[in-house]
Structure 1
Amino acid sequence: MFKLNLKIAWRNLWKNKGYTFINILGLSIGMASCILIFIFIRYQMSFDEGFKNEDRIYRLTTNWTTSDGFEESQGVPQPAPAALRNDFKNQIEKVAAIRQDGGIIKVKDAAGKDRIKSLEDVFYAEPEFFQIMNFEWLQGNPLQSLSQPNTVVLSKDMATKLFGNWNIALGKTINFQNREDFTVTGILQDIPEHTSFPLNIIVSYQTFRNYNGPNFKEWGSTSSNDECYFMLKKGVSIEEVASILPKFSEKYFHKDLAFKEQNGFQALSDIHYNENLGNFANKTMPKKELYGLAIIGAFLLLTACINFINLATAQAVSRSKEVGVRKVMGSLRKQLIVQFLTETLIISVFALLFACVLTEVALPGMKSLFHDDISFSIISNPSILVFMVGLVLVVSFLAGFYPAMVMSGFSPALAIKNKITANAGGLS
């Protein structure tokens, strides 16, 4: 039966090529808009996911309450990580400091001349950072690779850039700011784009300590470049830590200031969506904006469906005689409804195919606009395929149900006599 409906539907659509083309074009634009919005939202919602203990990972923050209001920063004073590690032994399993820096990286050739000279972001991190964040290691290990001064871990991509082949990078040296040579002790798998940690060059935190020692006792200075992450012990709630933090802040921050300074915390899952606090990737996307985009996408799709309904209803008059004849020949109303919905399904499938083409055309511009590595690959992102299948089914129902009900309800007597009008209808 479905095969027969499919043949009849295809014949009717082919007979009305102009009507079919206009509907496919209108629906495809609405579908393409929805697909682009879905891809973007899905990409943004995937930030910082996949860490082994993500529900126990938090970032220490700093806030100030003044007469002018409230301010907060993702940065912490440099002695804060060590103090947190010491004062929360019963609640916190791991604490790690990480600092963002930048400068000229040089790699010399056999003759001692600069072979590579590049401006890069550089991070200083304690070994515990890679025990909290389970990034994939290709060479080296998180316990030892950053335990000594003047050691550096590179991403696979950065190692390839500096040495031509990441497999030969281990044991080689790079120079930072004409100041020190660092020995490569580990290689990380490339960090994905959808993360708040764009780590390509990570130097041992002990290196930073060695030439910045005095500041590690100073609680009066806070830089957004200095961050601290911690992982709760199993069974410990963040509320327990929150209840102790005020006393922790009172213990270490200066009390003779005109404002109140204290520490707070932020869940790893909130970092990408909180526009009040930054991150190393300089990318935040509030969830309210994502919800707004989703509403816009739904509105565009609904508009396309309404346009389809208007065209289908207008064409219903020209097909009234066909409906009348089929009813006289014994077709039931539900059979006619299935027939008209099948036609809409075919149009929706072709609209989806055209929408995929439009999406591919628009995607480069979208990547350039948002500076994100957004992908339309259904192989690496099967959720896109699921969404598109759902999109076809939803559009087929929304756009096809009302016209199917109208046309299947025509009175056979009036339909055969061509006495159906767009306004009068003639339902039976």
Structure 2
Amino acid sequence: MLKNYFITALRNLSRNRSFTIINIFGLALGISAALVLFKIVIFEKSFDTYLTNYDHLYRFTKKVISPNLVEQEAGMQNPFAEAFKTDYPDLGTPVRTFYIGENQLSVQNITGDWTHYEQRDGISFVDEEFFKLFDYEWKVGDPETALSKPKSAVISISLAEKYFGVTDGGYDRVLGKEMKLNNDLTIFITGVVTDPPKNASLPFKLMIEYESVAEIFDFFQPDSWGSTSSNAHVYFLANENVTAQQIRDVLPAMSEKYMPETENETVFQLQALADMHFQPEYNVYGNSAKSPDFLTVPIAIGVFLILTACINFVNLSTALAIKRSKEVGIRKVLGGVRNQLVFQFMGETFLITVIATLISLGVAELAMTNMEELIGYSLSLELMKDISLLLVALGVVVGVTLLAGLYPSFILSRLKPVAVLRSKGQSSLSGNINTRRGLVVFQFLISQVLVICTLVVISQMKFFENKDLGFRKSSIITFPLPSNEEAKLNFMGNELQTFPGVEGVSFSFASPLSDNNIGSTFGYAPLETTGEFDAAFKVIDENYLDLYDIKLLAGSDISKFDTTLSEAIISEQALKLMGLENPEDAIGETIRSGFNGDKRVVGVFKDFHNKDLRDKVDPIIMVKYAGYYYEGAVRFEGSESQTSNLVKKLEETWTAQYPDTIFDYTLLSEKIMENYEEEARVLTLFQIFSGLAIFIGCLGLYGLVSFMANQKTKEIGIRKVLGASVNQILNLFSKELLVLIGIAFLLAAPLGYYLMNDWLSGFEFRIGLSVWVFAAAIGFTLLIGAITTGLRSFRAATSNPVDSLRSE
């Protein structure tokens, strides 16, 4: 019996090839897209789950409350770990880490000279107990003692192969080898471990004994509770039977004991490692953490794509039902019962779904291997290894079979044989047209919501590109400074000024909108405030304001001869915190400063964005201090070829001063846009999958028009005989299209508004949701729908009426 069902199913699918191909193609597209999206979600949720101590690992964080700001930070004071260990030894093991990521590494070649490399990620300083918390497979070395000596280091396999050429597994030859970090710190290798997996939150590949950080990081203050670096994190392994709440209960006492009363309020907090990957406000490891929305959106889109594919199947199957109505009537007359017919039609649906799923596996695998640029990593299905995805795939097969097959099966199987054999199958099916219309409305609802989302994200990205940040960002090249020796900087500045097209040169701690900020406090005596105001301190030279076109509102720029940090220029936000309205009133006033003592205000400048557009503008204070110059900047004008020549000359000048350091540079405008990489990825995601949803929706529309054409075959024939034109007949179908898309839009517009308004609320500076976005969405959908409808309805309108009327 099963064999007979199978053979009959194959015959029916073969007899209706066009419908079969459309069904398989639509389902394959929907399922492959859904598998890719579900795989991304499964991968993101798998972060750190490979760790043995996953359920007992935490990271300490803190909340800093000042009169003007509340900030959540992952950076912890250096003495915190030792203090916690001393005060609460029974709770667990705290471990310090200091991640510096991208830096220069050097190794000796066979001639004894040092060869320099640029290592883009993975460089960190860690405590000796680090390997008790985080799992690495050791190829050589002892995890108990590997980091017990100063300047010792553990290296990963990939770095051992890259820097020491060990490709035969002989990692013992790496032990004792020396490396230099930034030409300042010489380290020796004491162990080789496997690389962290893709789903590791901590991308550490070179782990150096922690205290050595003092030799390369000027701001490292081992005993200071008042200084914090955002790179300094403290992880914690809780002892057996110690709960998170027990740890949280002692943190208020830590704040009260170690944080001075005169400082702004600091509240120590505890973050479970399981939450770390989904709280990007704390993350500093290459911005790998994702907001919860990054998981919600793919799941929603994946489900919707499968639903639209199922709707297509329903519409096409019911459109095909008229052709199969006599088959159903004959089978019932010959003794076929309804259950057998349902089983037959469900079997055909299952067969199509299985074929579509097999195709989708190949499409999904191909897509995932080419998605690294979009999602930041490459993936593979690996169904047999990934039980979660295998269950998803099986669930898709069963779910799609039921969703797409039940309705057509019951519709076909309930046909009355007498009515069908009297050629009334059409009238028997006509009552289900509203159901099919509703399904198409649902499809276009999904499509239009995705189109609206895409248009809003595009507009916000253009807003990022075009927003006036309060400083010049175009035609500026920035480059790091390995050292800030005055003679070298003077020579470079004078030399660069002679290059054609160069309009200015400046040395500073960092560019206006940079992740590298010096956070400190300031106060103004007449206010008599309790606590100091938080501010972003920027170290600049006397050329900084001119190079970046930062407007001075009152007073003067920093003096070229101010070497004592006694002068400061402040922003409008800082002026407001001082309780002053007129910029002129601040000139000559003295402010208390947490950054190297009191300052005399010599100027007030217009606010500019020192953070990306997600956050408010900070109060900013600028001072001059050559000892903190870590970045150079050149402003230029010229063509692309002239810019290329400038970079070459810049490299020559830079290399002459720093021959042992690899030259690197960045275009400021490109660097700024890197802040919005996640938004750019969301945009690409919406563009791809909204296109798929529209395409699949058009297949569904094609199914509805096909059904209508089959129903109206004789009506069209009669109209043509009575003189109706092709345009008049096309209007029969276009009216249907306009009504369905209009209804879908009325539902999609408020939903799209709600979703995108919620998304935009995450940005302090954002676009408004204008009417044109919604108008463009419905206009685009109408255009695509009209093309789809026109293709099918034109064929019906130009058919020979004799073919449809001769049997009457």
TM-score relative to the length of structure 2: 0.51
- Aligned equivalents of 1:219 and 1:172: distance in 2? 36
Conservation of the 8 A alpha-carbon contact between 2:31 and 2:306: yes
Change (3 A) 1:260 1:151: same
> What is the DSSP-based 3-state SS (H/G/I as helix, E as strand, rest coil) of the residue aligned with 1:183?
strand
Residues 23-73 of structure 1, C-alpha deviations (whole Å, 9 max, x = no match)? 111111111111011111011011111211221111011211123342111
TM-score relative to the length of structure 1: 0.94
Conservation of the 8 A alpha-carbon contact between 2:369 and 2:380: no
Match of 2:276 in 1: 271
Gap regions ≥5 residues in structure 1: none
> What is the DSSP-based 3-state SS (H/G/I as helix, E as strand, rest coil) of the residue aligned with 1:145?
coil
Q: For residue 133 of structure 2, what is the amino acid of its counterpart?
A: I
Match of 1:242 in 2: 248
RMSD: 1.8
State the 1:346 CA deviation: 0.9
Of the structure 1 ranges 188-197 and 60-69, higher mean CA displacement relative to structure 2 is found in 60-69
- Aligned equivalents of 2:127 and 2:212: distance in 1? 10
Of the structure 1 ranges 365-374 and 388-397, higher mean CA displacement relative to structure 2 is found in 365-374
Residues 387-415 of structure 1, C-alpha deviations (whole Å, 9 max, x = no match)? 21221111011000000000011111112
Match of 2:128 in 1: 127
Match of 1:114 in 2: 114
Match of 2:447 in 1: none
- Aligned equivalents of 2:277 and 2:384: distance in 1? 25
Of the structure 1 ranges 313-322 and 271-280, higher mean CA displacement relative to structure 2 is found in 271-280
**Where do residues 132-281 of structure 1 align in structure 2 (5 Å cutoff)?**
132-165=133-166, 167=171, 168-208=173-213, 215-257=221-263, 259-281=264-286
Matched, 1:306 2:311: yes
Q: For residue 235 of structure 2, what is the amino acid of its counterpart?
A: Y
- Aligned equivalents of 1:84 and 1:375: distance in 2? 43
Match of 2:371 in 1: 366
Q: For residue 356 of structure 2, what is the amino acid of its counterpart?
A: A
Of the structure 1 ranges 347-356 and 314-323, higher mean CA displacement relative to structure 2 is found in 347-356
Residues 325-359 of structure 1, C-alpha deviations (whole Å, 9 max, x = no match)? 11111111000000000100111111112222322
Matched, 1:53 2:64: no
- Aligned equivalents of 2:73 and 2:374: distance in 1? 27
Q: For residue 302 of structure 2, what is the amino acid of its counterpart?
A: G
State the 1:385 CA deviation: 2.8
**Where do residues 40-119 of structure 1 align in structure 2 (5 Å cutoff)?**
40-92=40-92, 94-101=93-100, 102-119=102-119
Of the structure 1 ranges 339-348 and 111-120, higher mean CA displacement relative to structure 2 is found in 111-120
Residues 197-217 of structure 1, C-alpha deviations (whole Å, 9 max, x = no match)? 111111111323577797111
> What is the DSSP-based 3-state SS (H/G/I as helix, E as strand, rest coil) of the residue aligned with 1:217?
coil
Q: For residue 401 of structure 2, what is the amino acid of its counterpart?
A: S
- Aligned equivalents of 2:383 and 2:163: distance in 1? 33
Q: For residue 94 of structure 2, what is the amino acid of its counterpart?
A: V
Match of 2:689 in 1: none
Conservation of the 8 A alpha-carbon contact between 2:48 and 2:274: yes
- Aligned equivalents of 2:37 and 2:130: distance in 1? 34
- Aligned equivalents of 2:397 and 2:381: distance in 1? 17
Q: For residue 37 of structure 1, what is the amino acid of its counterpart?
A: L
Of the structure 1 ranges 341-350 and 107-116, higher mean CA displacement relative to structure 2 is found in 107-116
2:398 aligned to 393, 411, 414, which one? 393
- Aligned equivalents of 1:243 and 1:25: distance in 2? 58
1:321 aligned to 318, 326, 333, which one? 326
Residues 309-334 of structure 1, C-alpha deviations (whole Å, 9 max, x = no match)? 01101111110100011111111100
Q: For residue 430 of structure 2, what is the amino acid of its counterpart?
A: N
Q: For residue 124 of structure 1, what is the amino acid of its counterpart?
A: F
Of the structure 1 ranges 155-164 and 133-142, higher mean CA displacement relative to structure 2 is found in 133-142
Conservation of the 8 A alpha-carbon contact between 2:213 and 2:220: no
Change (3 A) 1:57 1:343: same
Change (3 A) 1:179 1:353: same
Structure number with bigger Rg: 2
Aligned length, in residue pairs? 423
> What is the DSSP-based 3-state SS (H/G/I as helix, E as strand, rest coil) of the residue aligned with 2:221?
helix
State the 1:281 CA deviation: 4.2
Gap regions ≥5 residues in structure 2: 433-808
Matched, 1:417 2:422: yes
Match of 1:29 in 2: 29
State the 1:84 CA deviation: 1.3
